[in-house]
Amino acid sequence: MTKIATLNEVAARAGVSVITASRALRGTIHVAKATREKVLAAASELNYTPDVVAQTMRGSQSRLLGVFLLGFRSMVFHELLVSIEEQAHRRGYELVVVNVAIYDDGRTTSVEMMLKLCDGIIWLLPSGTHSLMRKLEAGQMPAVLVNFCARPVALPVVSGANYSGAYDLVNHLIGLGHRRIAFVEGALHTGQSRERQRGYEQALRDAGLPVDADYIVPGDFLFGGGREGARTLLALPNRPTAIFCANDEMALGAFKAAEELGLKVPADVSIAGFDDIPAASTVTPPLTTIRQPLDEIGARAVDEVLAYIGDRGRSPSRIELPTRLVVRDSTGKAPQRIRPAKLA
């Protein structure tokens, strides 16, 4: 069995005291750069791994950030996690990723452990009704929410501009001559779908167009929800000429629905999404969407949680980063003739 290296051995290999070795490994400002490099080299040679649990019990920082998710199905999670990991590593932190969906089922052990071990928490796409939210709002530890706008919250939030992005997207469709524009909702727990729907409805009203309840159907931010929502819309007697899905993943499902019904995108129906995930630019036709700055959102979330770790008295703030319309080939001019769908 391989022997586990100790901090004493790292200090001896680097030729420094144990206290200096400990400070160097924690990244404190009280260690000279050359000394820190010697200690890090010794730790690497000995394959030394700090005992995070022991450090935390002694009241030291663990240099760990917990990332909370409600399941792992969203494609947006990957883009955010890549950015968060890169920024955390640059700042000398590592990540622990936890699915907190189990918390409300009474399986709290792993989540409670992370709350004790981690210096701070970043929660991606949280639910405002989740019981863990109340614990974080009580101020037990530094925590930042990412892409949350379901309700006012006593925590810092970093998000994209949902309302204005949706407004810009619908204005683009109106400019192409579309007057029957539908909306496929996403899951409601983060509040993002509601904000995107609000932008969709306001753009219609500002253009003098009605908000038709028949053109607003439920979805779930997943491929299947987009497919089923689009099938419902495309089966209407006076079907829409354009469909705005609350995210790209549902828009890809809407592509599938159009194909199944024998309709061409965008000749028969224009389809657009929100997020600009990598798949948006590689599908055929490439997807018109609203680009969220997911890399910047992730990086700012790390910066915010570290600021709160350093200053527990900071007042919570909301940072909303601008989005951008990306026009691709999935949207075109409204068709002059409505070709029947193959509903059988």
CATH of the domain at 234: 3.40.50.2300
Residue 105, both tokens: 């089922």
Specify whether the CB–CB gap between 265 and 285 falls below 8 A. yes
- Asked if pLDDT for residue 159 goes beyond 90, the answer is yes
- Tell whether the torsion through CA atoms of 326, 157, 141 and 310 is positive or negative: positive
pLDDT number for residue 19: 80
pTM higher than 0.85, yes or no?
no
Claim to verify: residue 14 and residue 96 sit in the same structural domain = no
Q: At what angle do helices 18-26 and 33-45 cross, to 10 degrees?
A: 90
Q: How far apart are CA 113 and CA 133, in angstroms?
A: 16
Q: Is 2 within a domain?
A: no
pLDDT number for residue 58: 44
Q: Is 340 within a domain?
A: no
User: Model confidence over 78-129: pLDDT tens digits?
Assistant: 999 999 999 999 988 889 898 888 776 777 777 787 788 899 999 999 998 8
pLDDT number for residue 56: 47
Claim to verify: residue 283 and residue 229 sit in the same structural domain = yes
Residue 152, both tokens: 């006012």
pLDDT number for residue 52: 52
Q: How far apart are CA 186 and CA 178, in angstroms?
A: 22
- Asked if pLDDT for residue 189 goes beyond 80, the answer is yes
Claim to verify: residue 279 and residue 177 sit in the same structural domain = yes
pLDDT number for residue 27: 63
Q: Is 11 within a domain?
A: yes
pLDDT number for residue 57: 46
Could you give the number of structural domains in the chain?
3
Phi-psi region of 105 (alpha: psi -120 to 50; beta: other; left: phi over 0): alpha
User: Model confidence over 275-284: pLDDT tens digits?
Assistant: 999 999 999 9
Domain that holds residue 266: 162-292
Q: Is 228 within a domain?
A: yes
* 279 CB-side CA count, 13 A: 15
Q: Is 270 within a domain?
A: yes
Specify whether the CB–CB gap between 194 and 218 falls below 8 A. no
